[in-house]
Amino acid sequence: MAPTTGAPEATPPGATPPDAVQLRERTRRLLAEHPPATTAPADFLDARFDAGLAWVHFPAGLGGLDAPRALQPVVDAELDAAAAPGNDPRRIGIGLGMAAPTLLRYGTREQQERFLKPLWTGREVWCQLFSEPGAGSDLAALATRAVRDEGTGDWIVSGQKVWTSSAHLARWAILIARTDPGLPKHRGITYFVCDMTDPGVDVRPLRQITGEAEFNEVFLTDVRIPDAHRLGDVGEGWGVARTTLMNERVSIGGARLPREGGMIGPAAATWRERPELRTHDLHRRLLDLWVESEVARLTGERLGQQLVAGHPGPEGSGMKLTFARLNQAVSGLEVELLGDEGLLYSDWTMRRPDHVDFTGRDAGYRYLRSKGNSIEGGTSEVLLNIIAERVLGLPPEPRDDKDVAWKDLAR
């Protein structure tokens, strides 16, 4: 991928990574050569990627400079000060938070060069085809099949996926499917990149309690996936999927926030602006939740610092669990604080939004939307098991189906 004309040249592979001063200088050159006020946003994002300033910890030539992840804020601060266009992370969060780290770890160079740039610039939206009607919390029990076409080497995929955010917008999907039903359920799974424009892909909206449909169900009928779109080895898809899932939990629960960012912000604002609603009991409870939210925020900062050294671990499950519990508690308190007003929901209309909005609109919306936080991105019950076994070192729960062939399991 050749750099855009006029963009700072990327650091050659093997060269010494830039430090903060060099990154700041590189960013300022980018801004001088592509002034945000006169450069089309898409062109600016292309130039930023080619300059290695998209995600500086990625390899040279893939939007990065092999620099420490901790230096990304140096670039972001310069760009924010210049009012440079962003890539709308909420709209492309699945690509940024889940697909990109998986492609970086398991993708071939050809796959990385094909997918990462349009993913980061937002030209191509991604979704995640993991959960199924009979395999949500127990994801490894999935039944979607991928059968090899021995004549072409392609894979023919059929099955049903569910709870798929952004499927109605997506150009590509990360997909896991069963390629050997004769093996136990955690084996015999293979990981693919699926073309959502294939005629065998049928996307249907799932209307939620909020009235909108940000989720979808997806039916796959003889979808042909070339073997060149496989990530990892055949039958080793569960290991690849775990990388995706760990990054997903961090991207949902471990987002870096300012003080009073997230759900606690609107609740605290209501408390300050509406003194007539206050009671001693609500004050005490709000203070408790404010402190818990601040602890969670600072823990997320520490987790982000740990990620500088490598891939996310099971600790991200703790952040996702805390995120769900706090969102539900805070939004419930806000509704209680508002009394009758808290029961109002001003915009219960069917629409298919282009991003997930955890804290937007009014208190009624926030209360209803938070109910999904303990399900999406891994149910709270599954995350408790992960924390118990992989963080605390407690004995695992008995699993009678661990060594039984998937085809012999009761369904």
What is the CB neighbour count within 10 angstroms for residue 156?
A: 17
Three-class secondary structure of residue 57 per DSSP: coil
CA distances from 338 to 330, 341, 367 (A): 12, 5, 12
Relative orientation angle of helices 41-50 and 109-121, to the nearest 10 degrees: 140
Active site residue 248: yes
Distance, CA of 263 to CA of 166 (rounded, Å): 22
**Token couple for 32:** 């001088």
Cβ contacts of 391 within 8 Å, gap of 6 or more: 314, 315, 317, 318
- On whether the CB atoms of residues 164 and 219 are closer than 8 A, the answer is no
Q: Give the angle subtended at the CA of 162 by the CAs of 160 and 167, to the nearest 5°.
A: 100
- On whether the CB atoms of residues 71 and 20 are closer than 8 A, the answer is yes
Which of 248, 260, 341, 381 is labelled catalytic?
A: 248
Sign of CA dihedral 112, 115, 117, 120: negative
Residues serving a catalytic function are: 248
